[in-house]
Homo-oligomer: A and B are copies of this chain.
Amino acid sequence: MSWFRTVVIKSFTKHSCPSKFTSFPRTPFVSLMNFSSEPTHEAKKSSEIVQYSGLGPTRPNEKPRVVVLGSGWAGCRLMKGLDTDVYDVVCVSPRNHMVFTPLLASTCVGTLEFRSVAEPIGRIQPSISTAPGSYFFLANCKGIDTEEHVVHCETMTDGADNLPPWSFKISYDKLVIASGAEASTFGINGVKEHAIFLREVSHAQEIRRKLLLNLMLSDVPGISEEEKKRLLHCVVIGGGPTGVEFSGELSDFIIKDVHERYSHVKDYINVTLIEANEILSSFDVRLRQYAMRQLTKSGVRLVRGVVKDVQSHKIILDDGSEVPYGLLVWSTGVGPSPFIRSLEFPKSPGGRVGIDEWLRVPSVEDVFAIGDCGGFLESTGKQVLPALAQVAERQGKYLSGLLNRIGKDGRGRANSLGGIDLGDPFVYKHLGSMATVGRYKALVDLRQSQDTKGLALAGFASWFIWRSAYLTRVISWRNRFYVAVNWATTFVFGRDISRI
């Protein structure tokens, strides 16, 4: 046969790709954290990982390099704004996409599809996948050597069978820490094991799969009435916007889809929202009351309580009462991640990386921190800003402008900022808050702070504003199109219940 040939793949022709990767000498280095410069035992065993290498310092004929840690609102907005004629951009993140978090709760029940709220970084900053000196590395940062202007990273190889993670380092001219925060558990036992957070697409996928599984299992013969009620009891901890929006979506799903498609078990499913203080505490008091009425009307039980312990089938509140659950979603705000805690920079109140008014880490050269992981130092006299997408995005935008100016001034290289005039400091102006509560109702609070007056709306008009506002904020045209299409098909055909 003409097509038949034996290919011994080992003898692939060599590609003539000029490699930019430099191997570093394995000398000891000053690090801000305990970081082993030696490859791990597994990595050593594996002959494929040749050496502890990485991207060396930029040479005079190359553009200066901005290294961005993280791919959330702050990091992505920054990368979008960076002038790639001036800089090479290297992003280090354990995920290759940004999550459009305000719409994430809608994906848990299928109102929107997962991919409609995930934006690949290459779509936000195309240079990262095409420019010769710009890269995206699927990895976690493990340590920062500010003396040497180097970050130490380890690949994220989850899912790659038998491929041990390996370490590498990247020299930076400017470093932006935008690695976000992590969900708070307040040290409560069992939260990480049994509850699902709602911060990543994988969390939403897990919630959706579990909800559908419980709906199906509860219909199988041999299950007791009590167990059926437990399986179909969805408990949400935390009455912030995420918890409230998820509860609203869930009750929409129950009212419309469960009643139609799981009619055998529809009378067993319940949603309980547990909050220690006020729900939606940052909103105007009338909006809060409206939200409570709406949620209650949709069948969500609002319970005031403090969780003491989380077990595999039930949670224990501080008054001793036990709440059996089949699905437990945990959304009680965020705190500093282990990586941020490990950094020995001066911290802001609350343990974030301390920054000045220009978002710099003032104790070292060329390091900035934005988003949920950075907070104003007490010495600035400014309050730490809330962990909101709005804040992160504004900071990313501000810093991209600042870095572009610096780069165009010829100060893009490492250690060349001395004495520069950075211009206006970053000032945050709150544009307002929004939250849906289900059944085509939402809250829109346009006050700049809790003490000022301003427009505060609730109802269908607000819901329309909510949808329109977020639709225009979705980053790519592709996803904007898909969000609109998903909303339309959910309205016409209902939510998809395939458990895939």
Contact = CB atoms under 8 A, between A and B. Distances in A.
Interface of A: 1-10, 12, 14-15, 17, 21, 48-55, 95-97, 113-115, 118-120, 122, 129-130, 132, 135-139, 155, 157-163, 166-168, 170, 194, 201-202, 205, 209-210, 212-214, 216-217, 219-227, 229-230, 233, 260-264, 267-268, 270, 272, 292, 296, 301-305, 312-313, 319, 321-324, 476-478, 481-482, 485, 489, 492-493, 496-500
Contact of A48 (B115, B227, B500): B227
A347 B7 CA distance: 41
A386 to B, nearest CB: 24
A10 to B, nearest CB: 6
A498 B303 contact: no
A161 to B, nearest CB: 6
Given A160-B210, A160-B214, A216-B138, A489 B478 contact: yes
A203 to B, nearest CB: 11
A234 to B, nearest CB: 11
A12 B229 contact: yes
B48 A268 contact: no
A25 to B, nearest CB: 15
Contacts of A4: 302, 304
Given A7-B303, A225-B14, A481 B489 contact: yes
Nearest to A15: B267
Given A122-B261, A209-B159, A222-B167, A477 B498 contact: no
Nearest to A259: B130
Contact of A130 (B5, B139, B217, B263): B263
B217 A155 contact: yes
B222 A120 contact: no
Contacts of A12: 229, 270
A214 B2 CA distance: 32
A55 to B, nearest CB: 6
Contact of A220 (B138, B162, B268): B138
25 contacts: A3-B304, A6-B303, A6-B321, A8-B321, A10-B324, A14-B225, A17-B267, A50-B223, A50-B224, A51-B222, A53-B222, A95-B499, A115-B500, A120-B498, A122-B497, A129-B260, A129-B261, A129-B262, A135-B219, A137-B216, A137-B221, A158-B213, A159-B210, A478-B493, A481-B489
B160 A217 contact: yes
Nearest to A9: B323
Contacts of A135: 219, 264
Contacts of A9: 233, 272, 321-324
Contacts of A10: 322, 324
Contacts of A492: 478
Given A55-B221, A213-B159, A213-B160, A226 B48 contact: yes
B227 A49 contact: yes
User: 7 tightest A-B contacts by CB?
Assistant: A48-B227, A97-B498, A118-B498, A138-B216, A478-B493, A201-B500, A168-B221
Nearest to A210: B159
A170 B221 CA distance: 9
Residue in A210, A233, A497, A498 whose Cβ sees the most chain B Cβ within 10 Å: A498
Contacts of A118: 496, 498, 500
Residue in A118, A160, A500 whose Cβ sees the most chain B Cβ within 10 Å: A500
